Amino acid sequence: MEINWEQLKVAAVAAMKSAYAPYSHFPVGAAALVDDGRIVSGCNVENASYGVGLCAECGLVGNLAMTGGGKLVAFYCVDGNSNILMPCGRCRQLLFEHSAEGMLLQTISGVKTIEQVLPDAFGPRELEEGFGADQRG
């Protein structure tokens, strides 16, 4: 599947413009290509109780689930100035859960796979591989 990084950036910037960031003043937008060709996106949504704010990646994964599911193939995230952002560790784990193997992320140091930005990750693929009938015991 061909990845149009500019199209993903445009979708991430559009999502960022919908962010609700009255406390940090740090709007974030994210967009991803799904294995069926759809683009899903999300923005950060802050809360006066800071710990219950939602990252752009949370919105993106919610959008993925609401629009038919699938696996993420490519990902792009931007700040309020349209600069590339690297997802935090928590968000990398969230993305990994819904990624196709080898999902690509645009990062500040170039395109990397989800496995490169979250080495030795644990997720659904590991559960399928690691808990066969011989290990349930």
Q: Mind listing the pLDDT tens digit for each residue in 92-137?
A: 999 999 999 999 999 999 999 999 999 998 888 777 776 554 554 4
35-73 pLDDT, tens digit per residue, is: 999 999 999 999 999 999 999 999 999 999 999 999 999
What global pTM score does this model have? 0.90
Residue 136 is predicted with a pLDDT of 45
pLDDT tens profile 76-89: 999 999 999 999 99
- List the catalytic residue out of 6, 46, 57, 101: 57
Pick the CATH number of 5-135 from 3.90.550.10, 3.50.50.60, 3.40.140.10, 2.60.40.1180: 3.40.140.10
Secondary structure of the chain as H, E, C letters: CCCCHHHHHHHHHHHHCCCECCCCCCCCEEEEEECCCCEEEEECECCCCHHHCECHHHHHHHHHHHCCCCCEEEEEEECCCCCECCCCHHHHHHHHHCEEEEEEEEECCEEEEHHHHCCCCCCHHHHHHHCCHHHCC
Catalytic residue check, 57: yes
Domain layout of the chain by residue ranges:
5-135
